[in-house]
Structure 1
Amino acid sequence: MSGSLVTILCTVITALVSVSAIFISNLVGQRIYMKQISITNNQERYKKLYLPLIHLLYNYLPGKLSYGLFQSTRQNIAFLTRDKKLQNRDPLVSLIMENSEFATPDLLTKCIAYSRVANNNLIFNELIGDSVENKPDKLGNREKLINELAEKSPNTRRIFNELIQQILLESRALAKTTGVIDLTEPLLEALDVD
């Protein structure tokens, strides 16, 4: 009897150890798989939304990162290239909205707020379009007028800065989690928060 009790006990313990090993192995495998999916999703978000936004900011802003300079540069490029689409659509808003599935709710909220400001700027540009001669050497006046608009509406500069900060901070966090080089430091330093 005691021999059969030991045999039964050994069988039960062996079965428990086997089931526990399978459960733990499955749990560990599932966590590794979920982590890989998370890294892959973050890499895709970084590559499809944040990297193009950073590229856009570097292309548009050689110096200080400010609302007036961004809008002025956009308008100058639109004029020089005769790109009506660029003239009538803000590239930041377009890029975020075209890739909205990769954006966080905070980024989308700030983008919508900025979109309203950008639309007001488009109306303003149409109003001043006739007062600024359409010659490359006169286009610097546009930046001055855009900055005057931004000063009259203090929220304009703040909303632009909040959007840019959100983009750069989220990009920095994604760069850290995906192991890519953080490209945001020069842009954060150039952001005109005055």
Structure 2
Amino acid sequence: MTDARTGSAPADLALPPYVVGIRNEVERGCSQLLRRLLHSRSGLVATIHSESVRVVTQYTKRGRPAPAALARYGRMVAEWHTAAGVQRTRAQELVDEGNQLLACYWDAAWQRGRRRTAADTEPRMDELRPAGWLPGTMALDPAWHRIDDWLDSDSWYAERGRDEAGPPVVQALAILRTQQPGAAAGRRA
């Protein structure tokens, strides 16, 4: 901890078991939230898959737009986004709580280390843990910001060929984005 006055942790710092445990708990909690989302909304996901085929067939194969079908599809996707957004918020809460526990742990470790080297036990401001020194901090998995990727379960395990247009879900989501008001003006929904 003597090198920490620079405000950063060494890259090769071995994390203590407590920190590793907190990180594992947060990771496990976020995975459980994803699993619960996919399980509780499995019917919705299946319906989105079947409606995706209908939308893609209507728009690309037949070339006849069907606003009512697209509106129904958009409602289903919005329901998915709302459910996933709730779980993403919960996952972010887990990450924030974990980082708060880590901050408390490192504050205590810093003070304990300082007391061993100083005769006085009253901490001074210049002896507090540097704000930037917080080894083991966590961030929300970026996948939580790409929730539509979870609808395309085929891409989880296999690479697609370059010539392949992609599964109907991906194509239907692209159609939905381009057909929304303001999409022609360059805005993305």
Q: TM-score, normalised by structure 2?
A: 0.32
Which is greater in Rg?
A: 1
The answer to which structure has the higher helix fraction is 1
The higher-RCO structure (CA 8 Å, 6+ apart) is 2
